[in-house]
Structure 1
Amino acid sequence: MVRTSQSVRVLGPSDVTAALAVVARDPVANVFADYRTRITQLDPRWLGGEMWGYHEGDELVSLCHVGANLVPVAASAAACEAFAERATRNSPRSSTIVGPRDAVEVLWAGLEDSWPRPRELRWDQPHLVTTRAADIACDQQVRRTTREEAAVLYPACVAMYTEEVGVSPEVDGGRDLYRARVNQLVGRGWSFSRIEDGRVLFKAEVACASPSACQIQGVYVDPELRGQGLAAAGMATVVATCLREIAPAVSLYVNAHNTAARAAYARAGFEQTDTFSTIMF
């Protein structure tokens, strides 16, 4: 029997321990939810959205982060159906749905008749993980971006985002928010780059981190320098630093058709552990 939204409720600070137990079933794949749970303690004031919990009896068994990103966590088909049923009764608030492909497929099957038409559906995104330093040489010129370099880094971040997502992060008044996000990552020591003479040759950021893993985003190489091995060597440096100073596992996900990026990540030691999907609005 398919459960309804009655099995779903909004979680709060008193649910943090139970939520982290759900996340811990696969802490690397669930690093985003792990990070958001820890940093906000599921307080809506800091979450900027909601965390939904799906229960079987009195046990919390699945989660769904509901904000700019709709992210199912350890979500069975029944949980996804319940999350989708609840989401159809709310105005769409997410610009993306992202997570393990099986869960995203069930969510979208329940939402596609009531939510806006997607701008893009990316069903095949290998989820990659490494827990060891790369066998190739690191790029010794890749290092943490300094606050003084943030202004130089910012245009490369905009270029990467626009190329990857298909829309500039600065549209609809998003410039200040996106610049603040870039500066925040720089300030945390989560931004890595190789900058020469005011030119960003390579860059990447840690998007989120937990005691178990961190997730890389925004990998970018200057278009005129692609195909020269900068991505692989740069990622080797990022991985080595992350493993040493941030988390014991490093993850990311990439579009299956991006063969050049996948080859660079493989050289940097990444291996596929799952398949993610992203639906973009």
Structure 2
Amino acid sequence: MPLWSPSANLQVRVARASGGQVRVLEDADTAALNTLLAADPVGTVSVAAAVSSRGTAAPGRGRTGALVLGIDQENAEANDQPELAAACWLGANIIPVCAGAQQAEAFGRVLAALRRRVSSIYGRSEPVLELFGTTGWGNHREIRAEQPLMVMTEEPQLEPLPGVRKSRIEEFAAVERACAAMFTEELGFSPYTQGTSQYRDRVRGLIQDGHSLIAVDPETRKIMFKAEFGAVTSQAVQVQGVWVHPQWRGRGLAAPGMAAVVRHGLKLAPKVSLYVNAYNTPALRAYERVGFSRAGSFSTVLF
């Protein structure tokens, strides 16, 4: 997939590709975008966190700056500020927001025209798979079509793993190694292939924000268990990077470790969520033991 080249008239290109159905959102659309995101706080938490951090729906700067595509409600009055029916985040990843199959198809036509390089497409299953199919992109590495989306809103009844706490910046090197090991196991390639400094900045930022949790073995000082809050809003947090060191696997650490993570997460937002590959039966069982229940399905297309 060739790199996307910016156009002096991006709106025209987007409108042409979608028959006028899709447009690029601007700063004036921020409130409408936030209203749309609030309709699905668990499914859209990654986009909501990114928009909150940026403070605007307007495109980012530069050739690779993130932008948000939108489709307006059909019944909006001509003189009113448009209300959004659906949106699509386009950055390093593509994430459709509150989109049905027809809207996802429209986004897919636009993305095919923009020809932008991305790492993944993910989100609720129907729009992700429809969008991806419409693009015609054939250079993907893997499609993970069934990923249960799970959520908790109450304190876990399971006793939490002792010692799970926020990691400290002086522990950065150990946390980075654990994160890289988990990433490589999960995706089959090193995170450093996508940029060493960017990955290290991401890990460092999670630690500084208090969103990196670890449990350390008191004898070896190795990280036994770790997880992160990859996206945090006032409505939901999304857990990512759950990992048990190989030396401590098979000892039942995952479920109590996650119980501790949920307790931390519920201090930040009323809902704690995650998504997991359907084939990962041990992880699914551990999450169910903690008290997670299913809230739909995600899909991920990896490039």
- TM-score, scaled to structure 2: 0.87
Report if the CA contact (8 A) 2:60-2:67 is conserved. Answer: no
Structure 2 equivalent of residue 189 of structure 1: 210
Distance in 2 of aligned mates of 1:231 and 1:13: 42
Q: Give the Cα separation in 1 of the matches to 2:214 and 2:19.
A: 45
Alpha-carbon separation, structure 2, partners of 1:185 and 1:165: 20
1:142 aligns with 2:164: yes
Match of 2:31 in 1: 17
Q: Which entry has the higher C-alpha Rg, 1 or 2?
A: 2
**After alignment, is 11-20 or 124-133 more displaced?**
11-20
RMSD of aligned residue pairs (Cα, Å): 1.6
Amino acid at match of 1:42: A
In structure 1, the partner of 2:13 is none
Q: Does 1:54 align with 2:71?
A: yes
Distance in 1, Cα, partners of 2:272 & 2:106: 31
Quote the residue 2:42 is aligned against.
Answer: 28
Q: Report how far residue 228 of structure 1 moved.
A: 1.3
Residue equivalent to 2:92: 68
Q: Give the 4+ runs in structure 1 shifted more than 4 A.
A: none
- Measured in 2, the distance between the counterparts of 1:132 and 1:157 equals 27
Equivalent in 181, 187, 199 of residue 159 of structure 1: 181
Among 112, 117, 138, the alignment partner of 2:139 is 117
For residues 253-264 of structure 1, the aligned pairs below 5 Å read 253-264=275-286
Give the Cα–Cα distance (whole angstroms) in 2 for the partners of residues 59 and 209 of structure 1: 25
User: Which of 170, 186, 190 in structure 1 is aligned with 2:192?
Assistant: 170
**Alpha-carbon deviations, 1:150-196, whole Å to 9, x = none?**
11111110010011111111115x11110110000000000000123
Q: Secondary structure at the residue paired with 1:184?
A: helix
Instruction: Say which SS state the counterpart of residue 198 (structure 1) adopts.
Output: coil
| Cα distance in 2 for residues equivalent to 1:124 and 1:28 | 17
Distance in 2 separating the partners of 1:18 and 1:32: 17
Q: How far apart in 2 are the matches of 1:74 and 1:215?
A: 17
Aligned residues: 275
Provide the C-alpha distance between the structure 1 equivalents of 2:271 and 2:100, rounded to a whole number of angstroms: 25
- Where does the alignment leave 5 or more consecutive residues of structure 2 unmatched? 1-16, 75-81
CA distance in 1, matches of 2:127, 2:230: 22
- The Cα of 1:198 is off from its aligned counterpart by 3.3
Structure 1 residue 5 displacement after superposition: 4.5
Q: Secondary structure in 1 aligned to 2:171?
A: helix
SS in 1 for 2:213: strand
The residue number in structure 2 matching 1:45 is 60
> Is the CA contact (8 Å cut-off) linking 1:204 and 1:219 kept in structure 2?
yes
